[in-house]
Amino acid sequence: MAGAASALFLLDIKGRVLVWRDYRGDVTAAQAERFFTKLIEKEGDSESNEPVVYDNGVTYMFVQHSNVYLMIASRQNCNAASLLFFLHRVVDVFKHYFEVLEEESLRDNFVVVYELLDEMMDFGYPQYTEARILSEFIKTDAYRMEVTQRPPMAVTNAVSWRSEGLQFKKNEVFLDVVESVNILVNSNGQIVRSDVVGALKMRTYLSGMPECKLGLNDRVLLEAQGRATKGKAIDLEDIKFHQCVRLARFENDRTISFIPPDGAFDLMTYRLSTQVKPLIWVEAQIERHSRSRVEMLVKARSQFKERSTATNVEIELPVPTDASNPTVRTSLGSAAYAPEKDALVWKIKSFPGNKEYMLRAEFHLPSITAEEATPERKAPIRVKFEIPYFTVSGIQVRYLKVIEKSGYQALPWVRYITMAGEYELRLM
């Protein structure tokens, strides 16, 4: 077994200890001061972003959230990745209880913080990190905590992420297939970086302990089942599952089988590194006139099929920092000058496929610049959009079955949506 944590510290932004819990008795509160000293020394180094610090036989693992540092100190040869993941789960639990995790919320709820830390880690080993399960026996009411005398159902249950005895009048499952397109285009119009990050986001409102089975048009899955890959089969990469998925079953026959948590969770995430054609292409021509006026001609073109429509399109066009008095005309949508962003923001509520729209803008430049002044580096054009009922990868949910011993019929709902992730087109 990997080495355990010695203690967990919660520090403010100046390194002062707000709360700490000693699990093994082999470190002291002075370790927090040593950690913060080493953290300050690391600032400015190329490795300053690393979340692990080692000093004099103690390993410090930390994450920062808002104005709080969460840090674990250990004298053992521990699994740093596992303990860092645990710290992120601690953040999620605190946000569930306090809504906002910051110094003030920790001070207001320090009794509950200690109770949570005691339940989430025992003798330095992570235990329960599901906020819903912890909520069953650690309750807050006006900064006070009540502890029930019985253990939560999930503690005595092999399915730690789900409580027994859940009942709903209407049994429903909502599955959203969400894909984010990341694209970087250089000033020559060449695609420098392109990938798709996808997630299967579920919300379940199911009674009892249901067994769910999900089928996708995954090429490996279809071939493992001896099925012909009719239509479009896809090759998923970097697949990551929620802990509820039976991994052994998936590795054997690619079946996605699971008992779902109650409520919202990410069932699966994946990535496709194949080059993606930009769904919305933007071209900008910028002309300067006598250093006092700038004209901009922008063309935005949708490069997907006509049957699809992009919604909430937002194109952020960089303009000079000293620009003023904009005059803007668009063939569709509206545009407004956002001086705090040094940008012109063009918004189009509905952008059908295979269409092109134009924007013309004129800005005045009141400041005087020297002829030999170095041209300022232009920020990229940034694009945001959503395309419902559409996926870039072509992923399809072939079936979603819900089986429960009581035999009720569940209603599964499946939606698809593609949106812009880091979507940038450089001007120079």
Report pLDDT digits (tens) over 199-234. 999 999 999 999 999 988 866 555 555 555 455 667
Q: Closest Cα partner for 112 from 151, 144, 67?
A: 144
pTM recorded for the entire structure: 0.65
- pLDDT above 70: residue 371: no
- Domain(s) labelled CATH 2.60.40.1170 in the chain stretch across 190-273+392-412, 280-388
- pLDDT above 50: residue 394: yes
pLDDT score recorded for residue 209: 92
C-alpha separations of 231 from 237, 274, 389, 395, 396 in Å: 20, 19, 18, 11, 11
DSSP letter for 345, please.
E
Please name every residue paired with 337 in a beta bridge, in sequence order, or none if there are none: 344
pLDDT score recorded for residue 428: 57
- Beta strands (DSSP E) in 56-150 are 58-65, 68-74, 121-122, 125-126, 138-141, 144-147
Looking at per-residue pLDDT, the higher value among 265 and 155 belongs to 265
Q: Are 171 and 408 in contact (CB under 8 A)?
A: yes
Query: How far apart, in whole angstroms, are the C-alpha atoms of residue 414 and residue 397?
Result: 8
pLDDT score recorded for residue 264: 92
Task: Assign domain 280-388 to a CATH class.
Answer: mainly beta
Q: Are 4 and 125 in contact (CB under 8 A)?
A: yes
Reported confidence tier of residue 15, pLDDT bands at 50, 70, 90: confident
Q: Closest Cα partner for 305 from 272, 351, 236, 346?
A: 351
- pLDDT above 50: residue 145: no
Reported confidence tier of residue 142, pLDDT bands at 50, 70, 90: very low
pLDDT score recorded for residue 144: 36
Q: Are 124 and 6 in contact (CB under 8 A)?
A: yes
C-alpha separations of 108 from 100, 119, 140 in Å: 12, 19, 12
pLDDT score recorded for residue 156: 47
C-alpha separations of 145 from 49, 141, 154, 284, 295 in Å: 37, 6, 20, 59, 63
Query: How far apart, in whole angstroms, are the C-alpha atoms of residue 386 and residue 312?
Result: 6
CATH number, domain 7-156: 3.30.450.60
Q: Closest Cα partner for 21 from 160, 115, 100?
A: 115
Q: Are 276 and 300 in contact (CB under 8 A)?
A: no
Strands across the sheet containing 356-364: 280-289, 293-302, 356-364, 324-330
Q: Are 78 and 10 in contact (CB under 8 A)?
A: no
Tens digits of per-residue pLDDT, 164-192? Answer: 888 999 999 999 999 999 999 998 888 99
- pLDDT above 70: residue 387: yes
Q: How many H-runs (helices) and E-runs (strands) does the chain carry? A: 7, 25
Query: How far apart, in whole angstroms, are the C-alpha atoms of residue 187 and residue 426?
Result: 5
pLDDT score recorded for residue 305: 92
Fold of 190-273+392-412: Immunoglobulin-like (2.60.40)
Q: Closest Cα partner for 418 from 382, 370, 386, 393?
A: 386
- Domain(s) labelled CATH 3.30.450.60 in the chain stretch across 7-156
pLDDT score recorded for residue 3: 65
pLDDT score recorded for residue 31: 85
pLDDT score recorded for residue 90: 92
Query: How far apart, in whole angstroms, are the C-alpha atoms of residue 31 and residue 71?
Result: 10
pLDDT mean over 388-415: 91
Query: How far apart, in whole angstroms, are the C-alpha atoms of residue 2 and residue 5?
Result: 10
Q: How far apart are the first and last CA of the chain?
A: 53
Reported confidence tier of residue 386, pLDDT bands at 50, 70, 90: very high
Query: How far apart, in whole angstroms, are the C-alpha atoms of residue 337 and residue 288?
Result: 18
In terms of average pLDDT, the best of 44-48, 135-139, 179-183, 423-427 is: 179-183
Residue in this structure with the two tokens 């709360």, named with its chain if needed: 19
- Three-state DSSP class for 86? helix
- pLDDT above 50: residue 282: yes
- pLDDT above 60: residue 139: yes
Reported confidence tier of residue 367, pLDDT bands at 50, 70, 90: low
Tens digits of per-residue pLDDT, 288-344? Answer: 877 778 888 999 999 999 999 999 999 999 988 877 778 899 999 999 998 888 889
Q: Which two tokens stand for residue 295?
A: 């004209």
Poorest-confidence range of 17-21, 28-32, 134-138, 237-241? 134-138
- Beta strands (DSSP E) in 56-157 are 58-65, 68-74, 121-122, 125-126, 138-141, 144-147
pLDDT mean over 394-410: 91
* Phi and psi, residue 378, nearest 5°: -80, 140
Reported confidence tier of residue 46, pLDDT bands at 50, 70, 90: low
* Phi and psi, residue 149, nearest 5°: -80, -15
pLDDT score recorded for residue 352: 95
If you average pLDDT over every residue of the chain, what do you get?
84
Reported confidence tier of residue 26, pLDDT bands at 50, 70, 90: confident
pLDDT mean over 348-353: 96
Q: Closest Cα partner for 262 from 157, 131, 138, 139?
A: 131
Looking at per-residue pLDDT, the higher value among 246 and 45 belongs to 246
